[in-house]
Amino acid sequence: MRLARLLPPLALLVAAQPGCLSGSGPCATDGDCGGGDECTRTGECVASGTALRVVLRWTVGGEAPSPTRPEPCAPLAELEVMLHDPGGEPEDYRPVPCALGQVVYDKIPPRFEAVRVLAYSASGRVVDTAEAALEPTGESSVLVDLEP
């Protein structure tokens, strides 16, 4: 309850901040960034054209799942996608439904160099991981195979 009372004043402080400089934050939209920079999904401003796009696809035991064909994911409960920053904390997304078969993350800061996928069993145990490097610019199309 105490946290809920603190959130509105904090939200007002963040909203009242002027535009951010490249490489700083926080921002919510491109308009919050100065000099034509863009706001990334992590809430930081980067130079226009430097944000990454990550298209991540996976198979389970060599079979591609999809919302209409979720059977390959039967041994898995969920996935976690982590974007690795060698100089800081990873950005992680969980739960990611296995049956999606793919996710797309756009407007990712270029400081992230790799993506790691963790597959969890119904009991919450990590049953497999896969990792791939990201392209330093533009789009990275990544395919990983998970073996539960």
d(CA 21, CA 35): 8
Total residue count of the chain as it appears in this document: 148
Q: Are residues 96 and 118 in the same domain?
A: yes
Residues 62 and 126 in one domain: yes
Q: How confident is the model at residue 121 (pLDDT cuts 50, 70, 90)?
A: very high
- Could you give the number of structural domains in the chain? 2
Read off the pLDDT of residues 10-22 as tens digits, 9 standing for 90 and up. 333 333 333 344 4
CATH of the domain at 73: 2.60.40.1120
Task: Compute the average pLDDT of residues 73-102.
Answer: 95
Confidence grade of residue 55 (pLDDT, cut at 50, 70, 90): very high
Q: What's the pLDDT at 75?
A: 93
Non-local (6+) Cβ contacts of 1 within 8 A are none
Boundaries of domain holding 136: 52-146
CA separation for the pair 109, 46 (Å, rounded): 7
Query: Which DSSP letter does residue 135 get?
Result: P
pTM of the model: 0.80
| Selection from 97, 104, 61 nearest residue 79 by Cα | 97
